[in-house]
Every structure is written in structure tokens, then in C-alpha cells.
Amino acid sequence: MAYDKFNVLTSTVVPLPTENVDTDQIIPARFLKATEREGFGDNLFRDWRYDVEGNPKKDFVLNDPTYSGKILIAGKNFGSGSSREHAVWAIYDYGFRCVVSSFFADIFKNNCLNIGVLPVTVSAEFAEVIFSAVEADPSTEVEVDIDKQTITLLSTGQSESFDINAYKKENMKNGFDDIDYLLNLREEIVEFEKARR
Amino acid sequence: MEKKTLFDKVWDAHVIKSVQDGPDVFFIDKHFIHEVTSPVAFLNLEKRGIGVMFPERTVATPDHNVPTIDQDKTIKDKLSRMQVEKLRENCKNHGIDLHDLGSAHHGIVHVIGPELGITQPGMTIVCGDSHTSTHGAFGAIAFGIGTSEVEMVFATQCIMQSKPKKMRITVEGTLGKGVTSKDIILYIISKISAAGATGYFVEYAGSAIQSLSMEARMTICNMSIEMGARGGLIAPDETTFEYLKGKQYAPIGADWEKAVSEWKELKTDEGATFDMEYNFEAEDIEPMITYGTNPGMGIKVVGNIPTTDGMEGSNKKTYLKSLDYMGFAPGEAIKGKKVDYVFVGSCTNGRIEDIRAVADFVKGKKKADNITAWIVPGSREVEKLAHEEGLVKILEEAGFELRQPGCSACLAMNDDKIPAGKYAVSTSNRNFEGRQGPGARTMLASPLTVAAVAVTGEICDPREVF
């Protein structure tokens, strides 16, 4: 579905330095039973965020009022495991528009791009720079500019460029999705399908 | 002529168009759907006012959230029931084949696809489930997709995909006694890590792979995603053709002959190159088990949990957090650890060959008193065979509880949950925190190792239990 256009995002950052965060942690399977897309943010990181009685766990970053923002920065290999797009729906619904990591799992990254959450892959060194800066000063802001393909730590001006293919970049900037593009190829697809019967 | 890998051959044959500095428009031959990742895709189609372009190319079954007892009755859990009912309604409205609960071919989507002969060499197959990689065992390109992509396939039978890089993993030699295909894949993942193949599509090759049955090959391809790979595939051969021949949806007569001659071309050309290659020796592989919270954290059952030597920073923190969750300490032996549950099932090891291996092992033995043993066939067909072959009787006499088909305790969306803090040795594919229920501690192993653990009540070497 169409989503918000993404151009320049300037925001404080929520840090989650844990590595190998799989999509079962982002949204546990027992919360996948909805038949619509709304409301997944309430269960984002459910079992890290709440204890069995449903009380917030004080030591988890989403329960720490010190940190907030539209950018989530996470340890390497973020989003591994299950292909559930619900993980990205939960991230989006919670209010994040950009996820930063030094390494993303493939399907998760595709899912992000398909619903308008920008995955920004940075070097391990730059990820450390951001983690340290945010830890030292939680009001630190980061600017993500999709057109220039840059991510900048505003307090120091340190910046790095990131990859995104031109097609997905245009989609993100305009809030288009792939179906808009594919439906225009209908005749070619019908011909191709016929040949494969 | 250009030298191509098996993966290139299948991929290139399905590209309708390449977008400049962008992905390929990639045609999908077969689309499997289930109740959990399809409803929002159907809903969005309705919002757009469009239908399913080629409904005969999609096959549906409810598997993820279904109960494994009383499947003939109304599903008790309201949300699960709604998802299954929604799947029925959507399939009916859009003319999609549904293998519903209770029907002869109901089961886990990755078990019934091959069983029915829907999965065939050279195809492109997707499903809103990361273990779609299972179908790669037939020389198909098969991978998991998100719900937005499920919607794309409904609407246009295509998705937009950038071609992944190519990796070949070769395993040569003969497997030792008590070593299975599950041990091969757990060994590979432990060597290259849970993210070691991210960005790649893997071809498995070598004499050890070629010697495996189709069921055993499916176990390997199934877990490709657990090292980050989009999928894995194996070149089709006589074993593949033998398996497919006579299956319900397999070609027949002259069509069969033609198909087989085409399928025989589906192999990597000599001299074709890969972006990455790994070589392993079958003789080095022993029965494996995981000790941590991702599938890369595996050791041989006779091994010790790695120490933190050489680890630092967030890497060390993440490692210790994982061991803390499992209740294990760095450096200690895994053998002898008490276990509470065993689970045999899932799209990784819920096929008839797996049930046979367990039954063969536990025949005339009893499970240990401290063990609760669940065995969940991957499909109605597997369940039927297990009854016909007398396996159910053997398993029940050994104290196993046989359930009805579904994903079950692999992801615990239904009531089949391992209680918090309890240890489960499982034939499934993921040992993530809470995967088998909040607080559950999962250790992944082969059906043979699981059978041995059921009998002894603790982590053991199946080669030492008779």
C-alpha cells in the first residue's frame, strides 16, 4: 500500500545495541493473529519490553524515557529469521521511520522498503560512533537524507553515505509501491505466463 | 557459451524485465499461502479493487496457528479461528485451491507442496514464510517473502527482486553412523554463522549431499535461511525424479519424459563461478545440538559451550545474554543437561522419514519420566503413513503423544507451547528466545538425537544409546 513520502528525516535516536535481533523478538508469533495491519506497535519487542504480567521492564530501552525518536539504531544482523512483515508493521506503527544497523537480514530489509521504513546500512565504525554519541547525550540528533543518500550525526557533522537502488529510492521519495509499477506491465506479464504453461 | 550456475539458469529464465539500477521483474511459477501472512494482502487487493491474476498458480493451506488436537471441531482460539475462516473466504472468493483442515492433503505448506508434486525442478516458488527455501531441494528457486510481496504475486504473479549473490557449499564424503542431514546443516551454520550467507543464494553440492534422500535434502534447504541465505537449492537428479514420479501434480506420459529431459539440464556448468565457496568433509560432522538463541550457536553433542575468549563489546554482551537466557555457562559440557520436552515435527523434520527414524530408535524403549514427548506429523499424508506402517503404535508405546498436523510447537502460535524456563530438544529450525513459548529454552537437533534424548531424559550422543 502507498505510504508516507520519505525525504529528509531529522530525529533523536533510540539505541538497541543487541546483535542478531530476530523478527520473533521484534514481534512474537503469538501476536500475528490479526487480519488487518493496525495496532502491532503495542507489541513491538513484547517479551523484552514487558514481563509475564504485562508490566514494563525498566531496563529495556523503549521503557526508558531518556530515549525517543523516529530512528532506531540496532546491533548487527538486525531482522533475521522469520519473513513476517508484521515485524516492520510493528516498527512503523510504533513510530519509527528509519532503522540503522551495520548489517540487515535480507527479507527484513525488503519488507522495510516495501512499506516505507528506510533501512540504512552503515559501517560498524559509524554505528559505534552513533551509539556512543547517543549514550553520551540522548538529545543527539541524526539526519537521514534519502536524496543525498547520507546519514549525519548533527552534533559533530560526521557523515556517511548509504546504498539504495535508484528504483527503490524513487519509490520511497514518492510513496509509491511495487504494485503501481507492476500493474503497468500487465500485458508483458500475461504473455510471459502463457509461454510458461 | 557463458557458463552458468544452476541458480543463474533458473533465475534468468524468470526475468520478464530488468529495471535499470534496480531490481528484476521476477515471474513466480507457484505461490503457496497460509492463514497468517495472507489476510492483509487480500485486504489490500480489495482496497485497490483488483483480483488475483492467476489463481491457479496459488495453493493454500492453514498451518501456522491451527490446533493439533480436535481438528474436526471448531477452533477454540477466536483469533486463530478468524484467520482460518478468512483464508477459506478469500480462497473461495478468488478461486484458489485450499487444502483445508481435515482434508486428505492438509499439512504444513512446505510438506504438502513436495508431497503433491506441486514443487518441481526449475520452478520459482514463493510463500509468505521464510522456510519456503525447503522447496529448493528439487532444484527450484524458492524463498520467503513479506506480505507486501504476497500482494504483488496475487496482483501480478511477479515480484521485484534484485538477484542475490551466489554461494556454493560442497560437502564431500560419507556421513558417519548416527549423523543425519540435520547435523550437516547445523554444522554448516555453526561454521559460517547465522548471518554468514546473508545476501546469497546457496547451492549445496558434493557427494554427501547427492547421497541424501529428498526428505533429507529438504531439511538442508529448509534451514538455508538460518544462515541468512535467501534460499538454497540442490541440482535435481535421479533421486529427485524418482520421488516426483507418480505424484498427483507431476507430469505424466510424454509430458513426464519431456520434463525429465529438461530437468536434467538443471545443473551448474563446469567452470561456472560463485561469489563465495565453502568446502566441508562429511567425516568431520558429528551429531549436533544448539546451546544458544540463534541457529549458528551449535556444537557437537559431545562438545563444550564456547568460552568468551576473544569476544568483546556488544558481541560478548549479546553472547552472555544468550547463555543467560538458556541457563548455561561458557565452557561447560552440553552432554548430561536435563531436558523437559522433546518435539518432533515442523517443516524441517516432520516428514515420514523423520517419524520412521524416531520410531525405529525408540522401538521397545520408553521415554524417560522427566520428558514430555510430542510428535507432530507434517501432513495428513505423513500421519496416514505413520499409522499404516505401525509407527504410531511404536511411538505411543514409548510414551510419545501423537498430535495432528501443523506447525505446532515450532513457533507456538497455537497451544503447543513449552513452558517458561523449561528445556526442549526440538527437530524444528529456530532456537530464538521465546520461539517455542515465552521463556522457553530450545535446543535444535536431529530426529535421531531427539529420540535418544527422549529415552535418556538428558542431552546425549545418539551413537551411545542403544
User: So where are chain A's domains?
Assistant: 8-195
C-alpha A110/C-alpha B159 separation (Å) is 11
Please tell me the predicted confidence (pLDDT) of residue A19: 95
Helices (H), chain A: 23-26, 46-49, 86-94, 106-115, 124-136, 166-174, 178-183, 186-195
Confidence check: pLDDT of A193 > 80? yes
**All domains of chain B in start order, with CATH:** 1-286 (3.30.499.10), 288-464 (3.30.499.10)
The dihedral of CA A6, A8, A12, A13: what is its sign? Answer: positive
Q: Report whether B49 contacts B161 (CB < 8 A).
A: no
Answer whether A184 touches B (CB < 8 Å): no
Least CB–CB distance from B294: residue in A22, A29, A82: A22
What would the pLDDT profile of A108-158 be if each residue is shown by its tens digit?
999 999 999 999 999 999 999 999 999 999 999 999 999 999 999 999 999
Give A-chain residues touching B158 at CB under 8 angstroms.
182, 185, 189
Cβ–Cβ below 8 Å for A115 and B22: no
Q: Does A26 touch chain B (CB under 8 A)?
A: no
Does B16 contact A192 at a Cβ distance shorter than 8 Å?
yes
Nearest by CB: A25 against B195, B412, B433: B433
- Please give the Cα distance from B22 to B25 (Å, whole number): 10
Question: Confidence band (pLDDT; 50, 70, 90) for A4?
Answer: confident
B83, B148, B193, best to mutate vs chain A, most A CBs in 10 Å: B148
DSSP H helical ranges for B23-172: 39-48, 78-94, 109-115, 147-156
Please state, in angstroms and rounded to a whole number, the distance separating the CA atoms of residues B100 and B87: 9
Smallest CA–CA distance from A192 into chain B, residue: B16
Measured in whole angstroms, the distance separating CA B364 from the mean position of its chain's CA atoms is 30
Residue A15 C-alpha, separation from nearest chain B C-alpha, in angstroms: 12
Q: Do A29 and B50 touch (CB under 8 A)?
A: no
Chain B residue numbers with beta carbons less than 8 Å from the beta carbon of A183 are 50, 155-156
**Residue-wise pLDDT tens digits, A93-113:** 999 999 999 999 999 999 999
Q: Cα(A117)–Cα(B284) distance, rounded to whole angstroms?
A: 43
Residue B466: count other Cβ atoms within 10 Å of its Cβ. Answer: 8
Least Cα separation, residue B220 to chain A (angstroms)? 16
- Which positions in chain B touch A186 (Cβ < 8 Å)? 156
Is the Cβ–Cβ distance between B438 and B460 less than 8 Å?
A: no
Q: Which residues pair with B127 in a beta bridge?
A: B32, B144
**What local confidence, expressed as pLDDT, does residue A2 receive?**
59
Q: Tell which residue, A168, A36, A149, has the closest CA to residue A110.
A: A168
Could you tell me which residues come within 8 angstroms of residue B168 by beta carbon, excluding any fewer than 6 positions away?
B5, B202, B203, B204, B205, B268, B274, B276, B277, B278
Could you tell me the pLDDT band of residue A3, with boundaries at 50, 70 and 90? confident
The pTM score is: 0.97
Q: What pLDDT, on a 0 to 100 scale, did the predictor assign at position B463?
A: 97
Strands (E), B62-187: 97-98, 124-127, 141-144, 158-161, 165-172
Least CA distance to B86: which residue of chain A?
A: A35
Encoded amino acid at A161, one letter: S
Measured between beta carbons, the chain B residues lying within 8 angstroms of A192 are 16, 27
Cβ-Cβ contacts under 8 Å, A53 against chain B: none
Residues 157-176 of B with CB under 8 A from A: 157-160, 162, 164
Q: Please give chain B's pLDDT, 466 residues, in tens.
A: 789 999 999 999 999 999 998 999 999 999 999 999 999 999 999 999 999 999 999 999 999 999 999 999 999 999 999 999 999 999 999 999 999 999 999 999 999 999 999 999 999 999 999 999 999 999 999 999 999 999 999 999 999 999 999 999 999 999 999 999 999 999 999 999 999 999 999 999 999 999 999 999 999 999 999 999 999 999 999 999 999 999 999 999 999 999 999 999 999 999 999 999 999 999 999 999 999 999 999 999 999 999 999 999 989 999 999 999 999 999 999 999 999 999 999 999 999 999 999 999 999 999 999 999 999 999 999 999 999 999 999 999 999 999 999 999 999 999 999 999 999 999 999 999 999 999 999 999 999 999 999 999 999 999 998 6
The Cα of B54 is separated from the nearest Cα of chain A by a number of Å equal to 9
Annotated binding site of B: 347, 407, 410
In this prediction, residue B193 carries a pLDDT of 97
Q: What are the grid coordinates assigned to B213, written together?
A: 534422500
A83–chain B Cβ distance below 8 A for any pair: yes
Cβ–Cβ < 8 Å for B229, B198: yes
Q: Is the CB of B79 inside 8 Å of chain A's CB atoms?
A: yes
Superfamily of domain A8-195: Aconitase, domain 4 (3.20.19.10)
Tell me which DSSP letter residue A78 carries: B
Asked if A35's CB is within 8 angstroms of B29's CB, the reply is no
